[in-house]
Chain A
């Protein structure tokens, strides 16, 4: 046996460790980038869904009811849950839901008055 010879794998162990570490580092970067990308796409879809739902609720520029069939259909097509409420009314939005507010003309009580419409969206 040659002096200092550990074995075919043993001899290459120092370089194998650094190569494995390097590959680990590289693929962690790839995974992180991919996760960021997917998260951003998901956020964009949530926002797009929220804006589309708001458009469905404010079809004529006024709001008579915050939950419409068309808004339900939009939410379903984006695979998300939503809740819409005026001012500080009770709502079922989870803490982590995305909230977007709009100024609307509320005609639900007969007389038109300004109100804050909040649309919150979250993933199914």
Chain B
């Protein structure tokens, strides 16, 4: 009877220790996940800020300043189709867009969004190719993690660089 009691004590102790160890493992995995998220957040915000600064220095395929060209188009009130054409054609700023997605940690799920009075759409790749649409990126992106950086380009238009994961 004495031996059985000792074994029972040992087993109970083992159960408590296993519980404590499981709790520790659970806590450390939570900590690990939250620091990973923190790392990704810091890096992506750094990337977004730098990319928008770099775009200030960018020239399109015709040698014109990219930012000025966009600003001129928004002041002239062009449509999203015109912006899509400008960003995707070899006679526009295709090279700028390719450089952006090539360097972006999000790759093909990088979007440039424009918001202002009468302007509200995002440009990027979707299943039908490159386009600038109000419902870009597609609806299935709604649950993805997104990192956003922004800069005001005209008095009423703001550009948002969105990186989806």
A: residues with CB less than 8 A from B are: 11-12, 14-19, 21-23, 25-26, 28-30, 32-33, 36-37, 40, 43-44, 47-48, 50-51, 54, 58, 61-62, 100-105, 112-117
A1 to chain B, nearest CB (A): 16
Q: Which residue of A lies closest to B13 (CB)?
A: A22
B21 contacts partner chain A, Cβ-Cβ < 8 Å: yes
A61 to B99, CA, bound (A): 16
B128 contacts partner chain A, Cβ-Cβ < 8 Å: no
B130 contacts partner chain A, Cβ-Cβ < 8 Å: no
B42 to chain A, nearest CB (A): 7
Of the listed stretches B77-85, B102-110, B136-144, chain A binds B102-110
Give the chain A neighbours of B56 by CB distance below 8 A. 61, 105
Give the chain A neighbours of B2 by CB distance below 8 A. 11
Contact partner of A32 (CB less than 8 A), chosen from B7, B25, B46, B102, is B25
B28 to chain A, nearest CB (A): 4
B: residues with CB less than 8 A from A are: 2-3, 6-7, 9-11, 13-14, 16-18, 20-22, 24-25, 27-29, 31-32, 35, 38-39, 42-43, 46-47, 50-51, 53-59, 95-96, 99-100, 102-105
A116 touches B102 (CB 8 A): yes
Q: Which residue of A lies closest to B101 (CB)?
A: A103
Q: Interface on chain B toward A: helix, strand, loop, or mixed SS?
A: helix
Give the chain A neighbours of B32 by CB distance below 8 A. 36, 40
A39 to chain B, nearest CB (A): 8
A110 to B22, CA, bound (A): 59
A113 to B65, CA, bound (A): 11
